[in-house]
Structure 1
Protein backbone atom coordinates (compact mmCIF):
# COMPACT_ATOMS: atom_id res chain seq x y z
CA UNK A 1 0.00 0.00 0.00
CA UNK A 2 1.38 3.43 -0.97
CA UNK A 3 2.11 5.87 1.87
CA UNK A 4 -0.31 8.59 0.66
CA UNK A 5 -3.30 6.47 -0.41
CA UNK A 6 -6.56 8.38 0.22
CA UNK A 7 -4.62 11.61 0.81
CA UNK A 8 -5.37 14.85 -1.05
CA UNK A 9 -2.40 17.09 -1.84
CA UNK A 10 -2.22 20.59 -3.31
CA UNK A 11 0.89 21.87 -5.05
CA UNK A 12 0.90 25.55 -6.05
CA UNK A 13 2.96 26.35 -9.13
CA UNK A 14 2.83 22.71 -10.16
CA UNK A 15 3.28 22.96 -13.92
CA UNK A 16 7.10 22.99 -13.97
CA UNK A 17 10.31 22.62 -11.98
CA UNK A 18 10.12 21.74 -8.28
CA UNK A 19 6.31 21.84 -8.19
CA UNK A 20 6.04 19.40 -11.11
CA UNK A 21 8.64 17.03 -9.65
CA UNK A 22 6.92 17.07 -6.25
CA UNK A 23 3.48 16.42 -7.75
CA UNK A 24 4.98 13.47 -9.65
CA UNK A 25 6.55 12.06 -6.47
CA UNK A 26 3.34 12.48 -4.45
CA UNK A 27 1.29 10.76 -7.16
CA UNK A 28 3.82 7.89 -7.27
CA UNK A 29 3.20 7.46 -3.54
CA UNK A 30 -0.57 7.22 -3.99
CA UNK A 31 -1.79 10.79 -3.35
CA UNK A 32 -4.51 12.53 -5.32
CA UNK A 33 -2.79 15.75 -6.38
CA UNK A 34 -4.18 19.13 -7.41
CA UNK A 35 -1.69 21.42 -9.17
CA UNK A 36 -2.21 25.14 -9.66
CA UNK A 37 -0.65 27.68 -12.00
CA UNK A 38 -1.30 30.96 -13.77
CA UNK A 39 -1.27 29.71 -17.37
CA UNK A 40 -4.22 27.53 -18.39
CA UNK A 41 -2.46 25.73 -21.23
CA UNK A 42 0.67 24.97 -19.19
CA UNK A 43 -1.19 23.73 -16.11
CA UNK A 44 -3.53 21.51 -18.14
CA UNK A 45 -0.62 20.02 -20.12
CA UNK A 46 1.29 19.26 -16.90
CA UNK A 47 -1.77 17.76 -15.24
CA UNK A 48 -2.36 15.44 -18.20
CA UNK A 49 1.29 14.27 -18.12
CA UNK A 50 1.23 13.72 -14.37
CA UNK A 51 -2.25 12.36 -13.82
CA UNK A 52 -2.99 15.37 -11.59
CA UNK A 53 -6.01 17.68 -11.34
CA UNK A 54 -5.44 21.17 -12.79
CA UNK A 55 -6.68 24.45 -11.33
CA UNK A 56 -5.86 27.80 -12.92
CA UNK A 57 -4.98 30.15 -10.06
CA UNK A 58 -2.44 32.93 -9.61
CA UNK A 59 -0.89 32.85 -6.13
CA UNK A 60 -0.35 36.60 -6.38
CA UNK A 61 -4.10 37.21 -6.75
CA UNK A 62 -6.15 36.94 -3.53
CA UNK A 63 -9.40 36.45 -5.46
CA UNK A 64 -7.87 33.43 -7.20
CA UNK A 65 -6.81 31.98 -3.85
CA UNK A 66 -10.33 32.43 -2.47
CA UNK A 67 -11.88 30.82 -5.56
CA UNK A 68 -9.42 27.91 -5.37
CA UNK A 69 -10.25 27.33 -1.72
CA UNK A 70 -14.01 27.43 -2.38
CA UNK A 71 -13.82 25.03 -5.34
CA UNK A 72 -11.59 22.53 -3.55
CA UNK A 73 -13.84 22.56 -0.49
CA UNK A 74 -16.88 22.00 -2.71
CA UNK A 75 -15.35 19.26 -4.87
CA UNK A 76 -12.93 17.46 -2.55
CA UNK A 77 -13.46 18.53 1.07
CA UNK A 78 -10.44 18.29 3.34
CA UNK A 79 -6.75 18.58 2.42
CA UNK A 80 -3.90 16.44 3.83
CA UNK A 81 -0.80 17.94 2.18
CA UNK A 82 -0.28 21.57 1.15
CA UNK A 83 2.94 22.44 -0.68
CA UNK A 84 3.13 26.22 -1.14
CA UNK A 85 5.68 26.25 -3.92
CA UNK A 86 4.86 29.05 -6.40
CA UNK A 87 7.39 31.87 -6.48
CA UNK A 88 9.45 34.19 -8.66
CA UNK A 89 12.95 35.65 -8.41
CA UNK A 90 12.03 38.99 -9.96
CA UNK A 91 14.79 41.11 -11.46
CA UNK A 92 18.20 41.66 -9.89
CA UNK A 93 19.36 45.12 -8.90
CA UNK A 94 20.78 47.22 -6.10
CA UNK A 95 18.58 48.64 -3.35
CA UNK A 96 19.43 52.11 -4.66
CA UNK A 97 18.09 51.29 -8.14
CA UNK A 98 15.20 48.96 -7.22
CA UNK A 99 11.81 49.84 -8.65
CA UNK A 100 8.55 49.45 -6.76
CA UNK A 101 6.97 47.35 -9.52
CA UNK A 102 9.53 44.56 -9.13
CA UNK A 103 9.29 44.80 -5.33
CA UNK A 104 5.50 44.47 -5.45
CA UNK A 105 5.56 41.57 -7.95
CA UNK A 106 7.99 39.52 -5.88
CA UNK A 107 6.31 40.24 -2.55
CA UNK A 108 2.80 39.66 -3.92
CA UNK A 109 3.61 36.13 -5.04
CA UNK A 110 6.39 34.97 -2.72
CA UNK A 111 5.09 36.47 0.53
CA UNK A 112 1.55 37.88 0.40
CA UNK A 113 0.28 35.10 -1.87
CA UNK A 114 1.97 32.33 0.13
CA UNK A 115 0.70 33.82 3.41
CA UNK A 116 -2.92 34.00 2.27
CA UNK A 117 -2.80 30.60 0.59
CA UNK A 118 -2.03 29.16 4.00
CA UNK A 119 -4.53 31.48 5.71
CA UNK A 120 -7.42 30.50 3.43
CA UNK A 121 -6.64 26.78 3.52
CA UNK A 122 -6.23 26.34 7.28
CA UNK A 123 -9.96 25.54 7.73
CA UNK A 124 -9.66 22.84 5.03
CA UNK A 125 -6.61 21.13 6.53
CA UNK A 126 -7.26 17.85 8.28
CA UNK A 127 -5.90 17.56 11.80
CA UNK A 128 -2.46 16.00 11.37
CA UNK A 129 -2.00 17.54 7.91
CA UNK A 130 1.37 18.65 6.52
CA UNK A 131 2.21 22.11 5.15
CA UNK A 132 5.52 22.71 3.39
CA UNK A 133 6.76 26.09 2.18
CA UNK A 134 9.31 26.38 -0.61
CA UNK A 135 11.85 28.92 0.57
CA UNK A 136 15.49 29.28 -0.51
CA UNK A 137 18.94 29.22 1.02
CA UNK A 138 19.07 32.96 0.18
CA UNK A 139 16.76 33.56 3.16
CA UNK A 140 19.92 33.45 5.26
CA UNK A 141 22.32 35.13 2.82
CA UNK A 142 22.76 38.80 2.04
CA UNK A 143 24.23 38.95 -1.45
CA UNK A 144 24.25 42.29 -3.28
CA UNK A 145 21.55 42.89 -5.93
CA UNK A 146 19.15 40.29 -4.54
CA UNK A 147 17.59 42.23 -1.66
CA UNK A 148 13.93 41.79 -2.60
CA UNK A 149 14.03 38.05 -3.31
CA UNK A 150 16.14 37.39 -0.20
CA UNK A 151 13.78 39.46 1.97
CA UNK A 152 10.68 37.70 0.59
CA UNK A 153 12.10 34.29 1.56
CA UNK A 154 13.38 35.43 4.97
CA UNK A 155 9.89 36.75 5.79
CA UNK A 156 8.34 33.52 4.51
CA UNK A 157 10.49 31.49 6.92
CA UNK A 158 9.30 33.65 9.81
CA UNK A 159 5.66 33.08 8.84
CA UNK A 160 6.16 29.32 8.48
CA UNK A 161 7.61 29.05 11.98
CA UNK A 162 4.80 31.13 13.48
CA UNK A 163 2.28 28.93 11.66
CA UNK A 164 3.99 25.83 13.06
CA UNK A 165 3.41 27.19 16.59
CA UNK A 166 -0.20 28.22 15.88
CA UNK A 167 -1.22 24.94 14.23
CA UNK A 168 0.58 22.55 16.58
CA UNK A 169 -2.54 22.03 18.76
CA UNK A 170 -4.19 20.46 15.69
CA UNK A 171 -1.08 18.33 15.02
CA UNK A 172 -0.66 20.17 11.70
CA UNK A 173 3.05 20.30 10.93
CA UNK A 174 4.52 23.28 9.03
CA UNK A 175 8.01 22.94 7.61
CA UNK A 176 10.33 24.64 5.10
CA UNK A 177 12.51 23.34 2.28
CA UNK A 178 15.24 25.74 1.19
CA UNK A 179 17.04 24.75 -2.00
CA UNK A 180 20.19 26.31 -3.29
CA UNK A 181 20.83 26.58 -7.04
CA UNK A 182 18.52 24.11 -8.76
CA UNK A 183 18.13 23.23 -12.43
CA UNK A 184 14.73 24.80 -13.12
CA UNK A 185 13.25 27.37 -15.52
CA UNK A 186 13.07 30.13 -12.90
CA UNK A 187 16.22 31.95 -14.06
CA UNK A 188 15.11 31.78 -17.69
CA UNK A 189 11.78 33.27 -16.63
CA UNK A 190 13.72 36.12 -15.01
CA UNK A 191 14.63 37.16 -18.57
CA UNK A 192 18.27 36.07 -18.65
CA UNK A 193 19.78 35.03 -21.98
CA UNK A 194 21.63 31.75 -22.65
CA UNK A 195 25.14 33.20 -22.31
CA UNK A 196 24.34 35.00 -19.04
CA UNK A 197 22.71 31.85 -17.64
CA UNK A 198 25.74 29.77 -18.54
CA UNK A 199 28.03 32.22 -16.77
CA UNK A 200 25.81 32.30 -13.66
CA UNK A 201 25.59 28.48 -13.56
CA UNK A 202 29.37 28.11 -13.80
CA UNK A 203 29.86 30.69 -11.05
CA UNK A 204 27.27 28.99 -8.83
CA UNK A 205 28.74 25.51 -9.27
CA UNK A 206 32.11 26.92 -8.27
CA UNK A 207 30.53 28.33 -5.08
CA UNK A 208 28.95 24.98 -4.10
CA UNK A 209 31.19 22.59 -2.11
CA UNK A 210 29.65 19.54 -3.85
CA UNK A 211 30.39 21.20 -7.24
CA UNK A 212 27.01 20.52 -8.81
CA UNK A 213 23.54 22.05 -9.11
CA UNK A 214 20.57 20.50 -7.38
CA UNK A 215 17.63 18.96 -9.24
CA UNK A 216 13.88 19.40 -8.75
CA UNK A 217 13.77 15.73 -7.72
CA UNK A 218 16.19 16.41 -4.83
CA UNK A 219 13.73 18.94 -3.43
CA UNK A 220 10.65 16.83 -4.22
CA UNK A 221 11.98 13.94 -2.12
CA UNK A 222 12.46 16.28 0.85
CA UNK A 223 8.88 17.57 0.53
CA UNK A 224 7.56 14.00 0.43
CA UNK A 225 9.67 13.12 3.47
CA UNK A 226 8.27 16.05 5.46
CA UNK A 227 4.72 15.18 4.36
CA UNK A 228 4.91 11.62 5.70
CA UNK A 229 3.39 11.38 9.18
CA UNK A 230 5.03 8.00 9.75
CA UNK A 231 8.54 9.38 9.23
CA UNK A 232 8.42 13.10 10.04
CA UNK A 233 5.71 13.17 12.72
CA UNK A 234 8.01 14.95 15.21
CA UNK A 235 9.18 17.62 12.76
CA UNK A 236 7.56 21.04 12.67
CA UNK A 237 9.01 24.53 12.26
CA UNK A 238 12.02 22.87 10.65
CA UNK A 239 14.00 24.17 7.67
CA UNK A 240 15.77 21.64 5.46
CA UNK A 241 18.60 23.16 3.43
CA UNK A 242 19.21 21.44 0.09
CA UNK A 243 22.11 23.44 -1.31
CA UNK A 244 25.17 21.20 -1.62
CA UNK A 245 26.77 22.94 1.34
CA UNK A 246 26.60 26.40 -0.22
CA UNK A 247 25.91 28.28 3.02
CA UNK A 248 28.73 26.56 4.94
Structure 2
Protein backbone atom coordinates (compact mmCIF):
# COMPACT_ATOMS: atom_id res chain seq x y z
CA UNK A 1 0.00 0.00 0.00
CA UNK A 2 1.41 3.37 -1.01
CA UNK A 3 1.68 5.82 1.88
CA UNK A 4 -0.19 8.68 0.20
CA UNK A 5 -2.61 6.72 -1.95
CA UNK A 6 -5.31 9.04 -3.38
CA UNK A 7 -4.20 11.95 -1.17
CA UNK A 8 -4.01 15.46 -2.58
CA UNK A 9 -0.65 17.00 -1.75
CA UNK A 10 0.54 20.57 -2.34
CA UNK A 11 4.24 21.45 -2.27
CA UNK A 12 5.11 25.15 -2.39
CA UNK A 13 8.50 25.82 -3.92
CA UNK A 14 8.16 22.44 -5.58
CA UNK A 15 9.90 23.29 -8.84
CA UNK A 16 13.47 22.68 -7.67
CA UNK A 17 15.71 21.26 -4.96
CA UNK A 18 14.11 19.78 -1.86
CA UNK A 19 10.57 20.68 -2.92
CA UNK A 20 10.95 19.00 -6.29
CA UNK A 21 12.40 15.81 -4.79
CA UNK A 22 9.56 15.75 -2.27
CA UNK A 23 6.89 16.22 -4.92
CA UNK A 24 8.39 13.38 -6.99
CA UNK A 25 8.42 11.03 -4.01
CA UNK A 26 4.85 11.93 -3.04
CA UNK A 27 3.66 11.16 -6.58
CA UNK A 28 5.40 7.77 -6.47
CA UNK A 29 3.65 7.13 -3.14
CA UNK A 30 0.25 7.61 -4.76
CA UNK A 31 -0.52 11.29 -4.14
CA UNK A 32 -2.13 13.66 -6.60
CA UNK A 33 0.49 16.39 -6.49
CA UNK A 34 0.36 20.13 -7.11
CA UNK A 35 3.50 22.26 -7.00
CA UNK A 36 3.86 26.03 -6.92
CA UNK A 37 6.76 28.34 -7.67
CA UNK A 38 7.59 31.66 -9.27
CA UNK A 39 9.11 30.44 -12.54
CA UNK A 40 6.70 29.03 -15.12
CA UNK A 41 9.47 27.39 -17.15
CA UNK A 42 10.90 25.40 -14.24
CA UNK A 43 7.39 24.56 -13.02
CA UNK A 44 6.47 23.05 -16.39
CA UNK A 45 9.76 21.12 -16.50
CA UNK A 46 9.20 19.82 -12.97
CA UNK A 47 5.62 18.73 -13.67
CA UNK A 48 6.79 16.81 -16.73
CA UNK A 49 9.38 14.95 -14.64
CA UNK A 50 7.05 14.32 -11.70
CA UNK A 51 4.33 12.89 -13.95
CA UNK A 52 1.46 10.90 -12.41
CA UNK A 53 -1.05 13.62 -13.32
CA UNK A 54 0.71 16.30 -11.29
CA UNK A 55 -0.03 19.97 -11.90
CA UNK A 56 1.91 23.20 -11.37
CA UNK A 57 0.89 26.78 -10.73
CA UNK A 58 2.81 30.03 -10.75
CA UNK A 59 2.44 31.51 -7.27
CA UNK A 60 4.70 33.91 -5.41
CA UNK A 61 5.05 32.95 -1.74
CA UNK A 62 5.51 36.62 -0.89
CA UNK A 63 2.27 37.68 -2.58
CA UNK A 64 -0.45 37.14 0.01
CA UNK A 65 -3.30 38.13 -2.30
CA UNK A 66 -2.54 35.29 -4.73
CA UNK A 67 -2.45 32.45 -2.22
CA UNK A 68 -6.18 31.77 -1.93
CA UNK A 69 -6.70 31.74 -5.70
CA UNK A 70 -3.86 29.21 -6.03
CA UNK A 71 -5.54 26.87 -3.54
CA UNK A 72 -8.85 27.38 -5.33
CA UNK A 73 -7.30 26.39 -8.66
CA UNK A 74 -5.56 23.36 -7.17
CA UNK A 75 -8.62 21.94 -5.42
CA UNK A 76 -10.72 22.53 -8.53
CA UNK A 77 -8.26 20.84 -10.90
CA UNK A 78 -7.53 17.91 -8.58
CA UNK A 79 -11.20 17.60 -7.61
CA UNK A 80 -10.88 17.54 -3.86
CA UNK A 81 -9.57 19.20 -0.75
CA UNK A 82 -5.95 19.12 0.34
CA UNK A 83 -4.68 16.29 2.56
CA UNK A 84 -0.99 17.28 2.70
CA UNK A 85 0.42 20.81 2.60
CA UNK A 86 4.20 21.24 2.44
CA UNK A 87 5.07 24.91 2.97
CA UNK A 88 8.56 24.82 1.55
CA UNK A 89 9.01 28.05 -0.42
CA UNK A 90 11.73 30.18 1.12
CA UNK A 91 14.84 32.21 0.43
CA UNK A 92 18.28 32.83 1.85
CA UNK A 93 19.79 36.30 1.65
CA UNK A 94 23.05 36.48 3.56
CA UNK A 95 25.11 39.57 4.38
CA UNK A 96 27.09 40.93 7.31
CA UNK A 97 25.01 42.67 9.98
CA UNK A 98 26.66 46.00 9.14
CA UNK A 99 25.61 45.73 5.48
CA UNK A 100 22.18 44.13 5.85
CA UNK A 101 19.60 46.51 4.37
CA UNK A 102 15.95 46.97 5.21
CA UNK A 103 15.10 45.69 1.73
CA UNK A 104 17.02 42.44 2.33
CA UNK A 105 15.30 42.09 5.70
CA UNK A 106 11.85 42.61 4.19
CA UNK A 107 12.50 40.13 1.40
CA UNK A 108 13.59 37.52 3.94
CA UNK A 109 10.70 38.00 6.33
CA UNK A 110 8.01 38.37 3.64
CA UNK A 111 8.72 34.91 2.24
CA UNK A 112 10.16 32.94 5.15
CA UNK A 113 7.82 34.14 7.91
CA UNK A 114 4.88 36.17 6.65
CA UNK A 115 4.52 33.95 3.58
CA UNK A 116 4.46 30.79 5.70
CA UNK A 117 1.92 32.24 8.14
CA UNK A 118 -0.54 33.19 5.42
CA UNK A 119 0.13 30.08 3.32
CA UNK A 120 -1.35 28.11 6.22
CA UNK A 121 -4.08 30.60 7.11
CA UNK A 122 -5.39 30.84 3.55
CA UNK A 123 -5.25 27.07 3.13
CA UNK A 124 -7.65 26.34 5.98
CA UNK A 125 -10.90 26.39 3.93
CA UNK A 126 -9.28 24.08 1.39
CA UNK A 127 -7.89 21.49 3.83
CA UNK A 128 -9.54 18.22 4.78
CA UNK A 129 -9.95 17.53 8.48
CA UNK A 130 -7.08 15.25 9.49
CA UNK A 131 -4.69 16.89 7.04
CA UNK A 132 -0.94 17.07 7.62
CA UNK A 133 0.90 20.39 7.31
CA UNK A 134 4.70 20.48 7.24
CA UNK A 135 6.64 23.74 7.45
CA UNK A 136 10.25 23.95 6.29
CA UNK A 137 12.59 25.50 8.82
CA UNK A 138 16.34 24.87 9.16
CA UNK A 139 18.82 23.39 11.59
CA UNK A 140 20.04 26.98 12.00
CA UNK A 141 16.87 27.90 13.88
CA UNK A 142 18.76 27.34 17.14
CA UNK A 143 22.30 28.03 15.95
CA UNK A 144 24.23 31.25 15.54
CA UNK A 145 25.81 31.71 12.11
CA UNK A 146 27.39 34.91 10.91
CA UNK A 147 25.77 36.63 7.93
CA UNK A 148 22.54 34.66 8.48
CA UNK A 149 20.83 36.50 11.36
CA UNK A 150 17.61 37.43 9.54
CA UNK A 151 17.37 34.06 7.83
CA UNK A 152 17.90 32.09 11.04
CA UNK A 153 15.43 34.26 12.96
CA UNK A 154 12.77 33.89 10.26
CA UNK A 155 13.15 30.13 10.36
CA UNK A 156 13.02 30.10 14.18
CA UNK A 157 9.70 31.92 13.81
CA UNK A 158 8.51 29.09 11.56
CA UNK A 159 9.39 26.57 14.27
CA UNK A 160 7.27 28.57 16.71
CA UNK A 161 4.34 28.80 14.28
CA UNK A 162 4.06 25.02 14.11
CA UNK A 163 3.37 24.81 17.84
CA UNK A 164 0.76 27.59 17.81
CA UNK A 165 -0.94 26.34 14.65
CA UNK A 166 -1.10 22.82 16.09
CA UNK A 167 -2.87 24.12 19.18
CA UNK A 168 -5.46 25.99 17.13
CA UNK A 169 -6.12 23.19 14.65
CA UNK A 170 -6.48 20.27 17.06
CA UNK A 171 -10.27 20.44 16.79
CA UNK A 172 -9.95 19.56 13.10
CA UNK A 173 -7.33 16.87 13.77
CA UNK A 174 -4.89 18.76 11.55
CA UNK A 175 -1.26 18.11 12.46
CA UNK A 176 1.42 20.76 11.93
CA UNK A 177 5.06 19.72 12.11
CA UNK A 178 8.42 21.09 11.04
CA UNK A 179 11.19 19.75 8.84
CA UNK A 180 14.60 21.27 9.68
CA UNK A 181 17.29 20.34 7.17
CA UNK A 182 20.95 21.08 7.56
CA UNK A 183 23.18 21.95 4.60
CA UNK A 184 21.74 20.14 1.59
CA UNK A 185 23.23 19.91 -1.90
CA UNK A 186 20.67 21.96 -3.84
CA UNK A 187 20.69 24.65 -6.56
CA UNK A 188 20.35 27.22 -3.75
CA UNK A 189 24.14 27.31 -3.43
CA UNK A 190 24.51 28.49 -7.03
CA UNK A 191 21.86 31.19 -6.57
CA UNK A 192 24.01 33.12 -4.13
CA UNK A 193 25.68 34.79 -7.10
CA UNK A 194 29.17 33.55 -6.27
CA UNK A 195 31.66 32.06 -8.71
CA UNK A 196 31.97 28.30 -9.15
CA UNK A 197 35.02 28.34 -6.90
CA UNK A 198 33.12 30.24 -4.21
CA UNK A 199 30.13 27.89 -4.44
CA UNK A 200 32.38 24.82 -4.24
CA UNK A 201 34.18 26.38 -1.28
CA UNK A 202 30.90 27.00 0.53
CA UNK A 203 29.80 23.41 -0.04
CA UNK A 204 33.13 22.12 1.25
CA UNK A 205 32.89 24.32 4.34
CA UNK A 206 29.40 23.15 5.29
CA UNK A 207 30.28 19.53 4.58
CA UNK A 208 33.32 19.71 6.85
CA UNK A 209 31.29 21.40 9.61
CA UNK A 210 28.83 18.50 9.82
CA UNK A 211 29.73 15.44 11.90
CA UNK A 212 28.54 13.38 8.91
CA UNK A 213 31.30 15.10 6.87
CA UNK A 214 29.08 15.61 3.85
CA UNK A 215 26.12 17.56 2.59
CA UNK A 216 22.70 15.99 2.79
CA UNK A 217 20.82 14.95 -0.35
CA UNK A 218 17.42 16.15 -1.47
CA UNK A 219 16.19 12.55 -1.49
CA UNK A 220 17.08 12.15 2.21
CA UNK A 221 15.03 15.23 3.05
CA UNK A 222 12.15 14.12 0.83
CA UNK A 223 12.00 10.86 2.80
CA UNK A 224 11.66 12.93 5.97
CA UNK A 225 8.80 14.91 4.45
CA UNK A 226 7.08 11.66 3.52
CA UNK A 227 7.28 10.48 7.11
CA UNK A 228 5.74 13.75 8.38
CA UNK A 229 3.07 13.78 5.67
CA UNK A 230 1.93 10.20 6.16
CA UNK A 231 0.20 8.32 8.95
CA UNK A 232 3.62 7.03 10.04
CA UNK A 233 3.91 10.23 12.09
CA UNK A 234 0.31 10.37 13.29
CA UNK A 235 1.42 10.77 16.94
CA UNK A 236 3.67 13.73 16.08
CA UNK A 237 1.98 17.10 16.64
CA UNK A 238 3.86 20.40 16.69
CA UNK A 239 7.13 18.48 16.49
CA UNK A 240 10.35 18.94 14.56
CA UNK A 241 12.30 16.48 12.45
CA UNK A 242 15.96 17.52 12.18
CA UNK A 243 18.00 16.04 9.32
CA UNK A 244 21.31 17.86 9.45
CA UNK A 245 24.12 15.33 9.61
CA UNK A 246 24.51 15.96 13.34
CA UNK A 247 25.14 19.74 13.26
CA UNK A 248 22.38 20.64 15.70
CA UNK A 249 23.44 18.10 18.29
CA UNK A 250 26.92 19.56 18.74
Q: Do Structure 1 and Structure 2 share a fold, with TM-score over 0.5?
A: yes
**2:158 counterpart of 1:144:** no
State the distance in 2 between where 1:27 and 1:74 align.
18
Q: Over residues 66-96 of structure 1, what are the superposed CA-to-partner deviations in whole Å (9 max), with x where a residue is unaligned? A: 2202223433331000000111101x22222
Q: Which residue of 2 aligns with 1:89?
A: 92
Counterpart in 2 of 1:239?
Answer: 240
Aligned to 1:187: 189
Give how far 1:203 is off: 1.4
Aligned to 1:207: 209
Map of 2:112 onto structure 1: 110
1: CA distance between counterparts of 2:196 and 2:59?
29
1:156 to 149, 155, 158: 158
Q: State how far apart, in whole Å, the 2-side matches of 1:217 and 1:122 are.
A: 29
What SS does structure 1 have at the residue aligned with 2:10? strand
Which runs of structure 1 show a deviation greater than 6 angstroms over 4 or more consecutive aligned residues?
none
1:4 maps to: 4
Deviation at 1:190, TM superposition (A): 2.0
Q: Matches of 2:194 and 2:158 in 1, distance apart?
A: 25
What are the ranges of 5 or more consecutive residues in structure 1 without an aligned counterpart?
Answer: none
Counterpart among 61, 78, 95 of residue 81 in structure 2: 78
Structure 1 partner of 2:178 = 176
Residues in 1 aligned to 2:80 and 2:63: alpha-carbon distance in whole angstroms: 22
Contact persistence 1:89–1:187 (CA under 8 A) = no
Cα distance between partner residues in 1 of 2:153 and 2:26: 30
Give the Cα separation in 2 of the matches to 1:142 and 1:111: 18
Instruction: Name the TM-score, length of structure 1 as normaliser.
Output: 0.96
**Equivalents in 1 of 2:117, 2:126: separation in Å?**
15
Matches within 5 A, 1:112-127: 112-127=114-129
Bigger Cα displacement from structure 2, 46-55 vs 61-70: 61-70
What residue number does 2:21 align with?
Answer: 21
Q: Provide the rounded CA distance (Å) in 2 between the counterparts of 1:74 and 1:217.
A: 30
1:22 shift after superposition: 0.3
Give RMSD over aligned pairs: 1.1
Q: 1:86–1:110: 8 Å Cα contact kept in structure 2?
A: yes
Deviations 1:25-64 (A, max 9, x none): 1001000000001011110111011112111111111122
Does the 8 Å CA contact 2:68/2:123 hold for their aligned counterparts?
Answer: no
Please report how far the alpha carbon of residue 200 of structure 1 lies from its aligned counterpart in structure 2 after TM superposition. 1.3
SS in 2 for 1:9: strand
Q: Distance in 2 between matches of 1:242 and 1:5?
A: 25
Query: Larger helix proportion, structure 1 or 2?
Result: 2
- The answer to whether residue 195 in structure 2 is matched with residue 197 in structure 1 is no
